[in-house]
Structure 1
């Protein structure tokens, strides 16, 4: 059973102000209370926690390690509360439901915004929020209830979730202009053993590049670098530093601009990655999320 929270928001605000003040008098002025009221509030917090938060010194404010740890948490808690209040006041005004979406950054380009606009037009009482912080691991955010819908790729997610298949996207080799392999119509992963492989993550995920290209059929390139994002991958490739293997839909804009070239990968007729819209079976009030997932599943995507 979780322990009850013993401090109030006003205690956290007090600690943040104390950290930024040179004296109790200055802190009291910032909080718009009397020094006596500030001392009372501080003693109340210490009593609730059974610990000391401030070393008593007439000349300066010296916070204990316990207070510093609370301030670290307060920075996150108060910032999130402020954002939530703004969303409640402004962002969700006139809406009955919000669907929070997390998607890998390299997946959503070129198709998701258009479909979300269409969904909101058909569901005027529902709004959409893209949670960019969830891009690194949308499924983890979904299980933690930080988002309602995860857009992911790879093998079909299992467990207490419903996964709607969206499309299968071709995996292609992404090459700098003038790379020797651009002279060929079709390439294979082993053709790039001597190239630098530029990727956005070195973790091994089922149904992704390592699983499809290197696990059994080809050795990994001798050198790999992780640059963390699709934009950086494309820039490194454009500058001729190396090659990558990405979903075709994610790189078409760069190809059209003439920044990079792509070639299909030969592995039994090509290599593709499945993409999914995933939401929880167990979280209540998923009607809007289910409608959006079904709409995405029905839609056809122009990936060429």
Structure 2
């Protein structure tokens, strides 16, 4: 390996700050020392990592892949050190955990109490970024277990079924569709439709309900945070098809209404995901089994 860990730390710092002066401050060294460190790294690699644009440094096309790798490995090493210290000091195992697709945590306090009582040696650390990129986070090691909706068959990822749910149309309580026992896809033709994903997700409403009908909503708007979608719907802006379980607090408080999607309804299974390489008694698998028991 041609670069040392200090070179990888340097790449991450320069990329985040944009200048040698600011990166040197973050790393706790002088600008001159950092300049020599950068020159040393480029000499070892045999090419430029950055190009100067005034006081700014712009990554080269060849350096971009190195910088992306630095952005992945430095946080992973930092987390490994932190986890080791936690386990060494407290005899506990830290499991980084997230919820895919939905930012819903109404159930979490009760589950944490259950985990604390039954698995005192496991400490959960919530990773919010798992909401948007759960599989990537699992594969890169930034999260250890994810509670995810839908069926995700991905090489290298194991899943444990947790509970059954359904997709429902979520509207303002006074919306004209709120009084229907169920909706058809054609009911969405004149609606402003809110969705949390920029692409159609396999096994969800677009693939199973909207596309087969040959119709489409009048306007589709992407709002990446599901909590924000609920707030917009409660204020009378648009409708969406979401997990009933994920939005049950808003339904219970009558801030929104939930209508069955199609006469047969659209079922939605939730699973606990973890890396296939996890040992059978690893903390991640124990957590996943506890989730299935609890739900």
Q: Settle same-fold status: TM greater than 0.5.
A: yes
Q: Residue 276 of structure 1 corresponds to which residue in structure 2?
A: 271
Structure 1 residues 111 and 289: alpha-carbon distance in aligned structure 2, compared to 1, 3 A threshold: same
Contact 2:2 2:44 in 1 (8 A): no
* Partners of 1:40 and 1:226 in 2: CA distance: 46
- 1:289 maps to 284
Question: 1:9 and 1:271, CA in 2 relative to 1: closer, same or farther beyond 3 A?
Answer: same
> Against the structure 1 CA distance between its residues 44 and 250, is the aligned structure 2 distance closer, same or farther, given a 3 Å change threshold?
closer
Provide the C-alpha distance between the structure 2 equivalents of 1:217 and 1:114, rounded to a whole number of angstroms.
40
Classify 1:281/1:180 alpha carbon distance in 2 versus 1 (closer, same or farther; 3 Å). same
Cα separation, 2, equivalents of 1:137 and 1:38: 34
Q: How many Å apart are 1:229 and its aligned residue?
A: 1.0
Partners of 1:271 and 1:52 lie apart in 2 by 54
Q: Which moved more, 1:87-96 or 1:275-284?
A: 87-96
Question: Does the C-alpha gap of structure 1 residues 260 and 92 become closer, same or farther in structure 2, counting only changes over 3 Å?
Answer: farther
Alignment-derived partner of residue 251 in structure 2: 255
Aligned to 1:209: 205
- TM-score normalised per structure 2: 0.77
Hey, what's the Cα distance between the residues in 1 that align with 2:181 and 2:145? Answer: 38
Quote the RMSD (CA, aligned, Å): 3.8
CA distance in 2, matches of 1:293, 1:11: 34
Q: 1:111 aligns with which of 107, 110, 115?
A: 107
Q: Specify the alignment match of 2:3 in structure 1.
A: 6
Residues in 1 aligned to 2:81 and 2:121: alpha-carbon distance in whole angstroms: 19
TM-score normalised by length of structure 1: 0.75
Q: Deviations over 1:267-286 (max 9, x none)?
A: 32x22211111223324475
Q: Please show how residues 215-234 of structure 1 align to structure 2 within 5 Å.
A: 215-217=211-213, 219-234=215-230
- Select between 137-146 and 161-170 the one with higher mean Cα deviation: 137-146
Unaligned runs of 5+ in 1: none
Between 180-189 and 104-113, report the one with greater CA deviation.
Answer: 104-113
Asked whether 1:299 is paired with 2:294, we answer: yes
1:145 aligned residue = 141
User: Of 154, 161, 166, which residue of structure 2 is paired with 1:165?
Assistant: 161
Q: Distance in 1 between matches of 2:290 and 2:128?
A: 22
Corresponding position of 2:29 = 31
Give me the whole-angstrom Cα distance separating, in 1, the residues matched to 2:281 and 2:250. 36
Report the Cα offset of residue 86 of structure 1.
4.9
In 1: Cα distance, 2:263 partner to 2:123 partner: 42
C-alpha contact (below 8 Å) 1:7/1:48 kept by paired residues:
no
Deviation at 1:239, TM superposition (A): 2.2
With over 3 angstroms needed to count, the CA separation of the structure-2 counterparts of 1:74 and 1:232, relative to structure 1, is same
| Counterpart in the other structure of 1:193 | 189
- The CA deviation string for residues 112-133 of structure 1, in whole angstroms up to 9 with x for no partner, is 4422431232122221122222
